[in-house]
Every structure is written in C-alpha cells, then in structure tokens.
Structure 1
Amino acid sequence: MRVRPISSEVLVQELADLLICREPDSFLRVALDGAPAARPEALADALVGPLRAGGRPTVRIDTADFLRPASLRLEFGRDNPDSYYLGWFDEAGLAREVLDPAGPAGSGRILTRLWDASADRAARAPYSHLKPGTILLVSGPLLLGGGLGFDVTVHLEMSAAALARRTLADSAWTLPAFERYASEVDPASFADVVVRVDDPRRPAMVVER
C-alpha cells in the first residue's frame, strides 16, 4: 500500500473537486464511511461549504438519524457487538427514504431524518425535494458492503491499534464489530477513495493498494 500524506484542508478541497465534476446534472449519493473515532461526520460537514461554493446543492445525512427502534437495537443487550454490526442501523429505511429516491429513476423526494433515538420514536421530519445536481453526503459507520446505492464511496481507514486507542472507553464494546467489518467486508479494498486517519490531524490518501 502506498499513501500520500495530506493536510485536512487539502483533503477536503480534493474531495470537493472530485465530487463537483461528477454527474453535474444528476443527484450524487456519496458515502463517508468510518468508525466514530474516524469522525466521518466531521469530514462530511467540512465538505458542505466547498461543494456549495462550487455550485452543487448539498444535503447532509447522518446514520445516527436512521437507527432502528431500541426494542430491536438493544434486544440482545446494550453492548452486544454483533447486534451493533447487524442490527443497529436501519439500512432499509435509509435506502427507501434517501438513496432510492435520489437514484437514477428516483423522485428526488427524501427524508433527512427517520428516527429520533433520544426519544425512541419517529423523527417526524418533513420530506424535502432535491434540487437538480444535489450531492447527498451520507456519513456513518458500517455503510459499505451491504448493497446500499451509493455513487461514490469514501472510507476512512484506521489500524486496529489506532481505532482501539481513539475509541471512547464506553464504546470499546463496538471494537469487535469493526474488526468483523474489516475482515468480512474489507471496505478499503473497493471504496473509491480511502483515507488513512490513524491520526486525524495527519490524514493520508491511499494512492495504491
């Protein structure tokens, strides 16, 4: 594997430049995949300004707003890594309410939030109609390999040691889920863009695998 060290600012600009020129007249569904310690949501947030400045309407989606109800999510306990890996995120809801409507034959009518996890009820958010050329930035963990309809995939990769070091103590129980994800799915082997973020202050683009 060959990597190119890059500053956070240059990373954001290079990704923005890549996305702006992709399918300018169509919706573009972009996955920003990474463990919470990799902070995929921060990268997604940082991309919004440059994308809009480049003339692309941009909508942010976070999988934290597409969790399954607690009765299903926590059926086998609050710290079960297999449940986290297989059953925490409502992938069917994300596909139905976001990715499919933003697909080639979609209506462009999406729901940006489906579930309010703190209240454990439907978020009751209104539907939005996407403008032509809108880029959807979907951030969260475990996004790849399950057949979700993304047009561009970005994976934020961390070594097992860095992930263990940077994961909060009360979330350490999720580490086996990410080990399983790396082993069974191996997102770094097929994502369109892979960024090493063992130290988030010093990212590195993977340029050869």
Structure 2
Amino acid sequence: MGDTRATVLETIADTLVERAEALLSRVLQVAVTGITASGKSTLAQELAQILTRRGRNSVHIAVDDFHNPRYLRHRRGRESAEGYYFDAYNYPLLKKLVLEPLGPGGNLIYQARGFDLETDAPVEEALNKANPGDIFLFAASFLLRPEIVSYFDYRIYIDTDFEVAEQRGVDRDAARLGSWENAVRLYRQRYHAAQRIYFAESNPVQYADALLKNNNLAEPILFFRANHPNS
C-alpha cells in the first residue's frame, strides 16, 4: 500500500516551501501539468489550500483563462488534435501578463486572467502585486513545451493513464460537450491525440522535478528527480 494522498501532498508542499525560501527576491513559479483530466487543477487547488494553512501566500493561476478566441482555437476544426495543441492557448499573453512579470527581473505586477471562455472575449482586470516568497501554481496540459518551459522554477508532472483520464474527463465533461458520445470522441480525437503530438515534440517528462502517478487518487505515488534531497 502506498502513502495516502494527504501524506503525498504534504511532502510536495514541503518541497515547494523549501524552493520558495531559496528565492530571496522573487516568487516561485510552479508548473502542475499532465494530460487532459489527469488531475492538474485538483492538485493545484489542494496544494494551495495546504500552503495557505501553513501561512504561505500561494496563487493558483488557471491557464484556461489564457485561451485564444474560438475562431483561432477551432480554425483547423472542432475535433482537430493539431488545433488543440497549436491553437488553443495564448502563450504570448500568458508570458506578458504573468510569467515575465513574476520571473527574474520582473516587477511582480501581474494580471491573473486574460480571457473568458464563456464570453469568448479578452478580460481586463485590476493588476495584482506579488511578494517575494509567494508560490504561484500554474495548472495546464502543455506547460513543458518549448515556448514556456524555462519560465518555471519547479515542475510537477501528473502521470495518469490515458484510459483512466478519459473516463474521468468524459464523466466530468459529457454534459458540457453535448453527450457522452461527443465527449468520448473529442477526448480521443482532439484532447488526448494532442497530448501525443506534445509528447513527440517536447518529451515533457524529461523536465519534471517531481512525477506523481495519479491513477489511484487515494494513494498516488510520488517520485522526485534523482538529485532531489527527498529522493
């Protein structure tokens, strides 16, 4: 039997706090990534709650708030895997509003959201000021791709089998996607097919500082890179 989820989460939180304390003048930017429906947003939210209980200021940035407009996202077709990988997200906007201001030499002034999927329109919000030592958790599928991988100080890859993630995703998204059948088709032809393009281009696991096997939500298995002090 593996460690409980609570134990694993506390161990990850320990590591993030240590990394944040080593950065004296800026924030810690953490990628929480994996295939669609692997459990990225859930993990980021759980970690944020633990860090808050410890008195650490953390911010969960939902990268879904940095999509491209629908006409760009679907220009190759609603079910296109290439369209999802290459056209779904506005990485230049994410860099401009968040990653660069929070990175080395940045002014720590950021905007948490850039686009509203429901209205299919850009978002203009009041700017926020981060403080050195804050921990920013970014949750999305393609964070370890060439355009943005270097912006992250720590990278957590959630390793969930395609079959398991598909079942979770279809159960979650069937109503939003119109039907169970539509959801299955989109997961297979668009969302998860796009992940295979991503794997071929980026081999994202090579960049992971921590890997979380997440098929069993109650008892995930945590691995650290070999030179990690907890490995």
Give your verdict on TM over 0.5.
yes
Separation of aligned partners in 2, 1:70 and 1:164: 23
After superposition, residues 176-195 of structure 1 pair within 5 angstroms as 176-195=193-212
1:1-209 to 2 correspondence within 5 Å? Answer: 5-24=2-21, 25=24, 26-148=26-148, 149-168=151-170, 169=180, 170=183, 171-172=186-187, 173=189, 174-207=191-224
Which structure: greater helix fraction?
2
Q: In the alignment, is the contact (CA less than 8 A) between 1:58 and 1:134 conserved in 2?
A: yes
Contact residue 68 and residue 89 of structure 2 kept, 8 A: yes
Confirm or deny: 8 A CA contact 1:160 1:179 kept in the other structure.
no
Q: Tell me how far apart the structure 2 counterparts of residues 192 and 78 of structure 1 sit (CA, whole Å).
A: 34
Structure 2: which amino acid aligns with 1:97?
Answer: L
Q: Distance in 1 between matches of 2:68 and 2:159?
A: 25
User: Which residue of the partner structure matches residue 229 of structure 2?
Assistant: none
TM-score, reference length from structure 2: 0.82
Distance 1:54 1:181, change over 3 A: same
Deviation at 1:86, TM superposition (A): 1.1
Q: Secondary structure of the equivalent of 1:113? A: coil
Partners of 1:20 and 1:54 within 8 A in 2: no
Residue ranges of structure 2 left out of the alignment (5+ in a row): 171-179, 227-231
Question: What is the aligned-residue identity percentage?
Answer: 25
The TM-score normalised by the length of structure 1 is 0.90
Take 1:200 and 1:38, find their aligned partners in 2: how far apart are those partners? Answer: 10
Secondary structure at 1:194 match in 2: strand
Greater RCO structure (CA 8 Å; 6+ sep)? 1
Root-mean-square deviation (CA), in Å? 1.9
* Structure number having the greater strand percentage: 1
> How far did residue 208 of structure 1 move?
6.9
Out of 180-189 and 56-65, give the one that drifted further: 180-189
Q: Which amino acid aligns with 1:90?
A: N
Q: How many residues align?
A: 206
CA drift at 1:44: 0.6
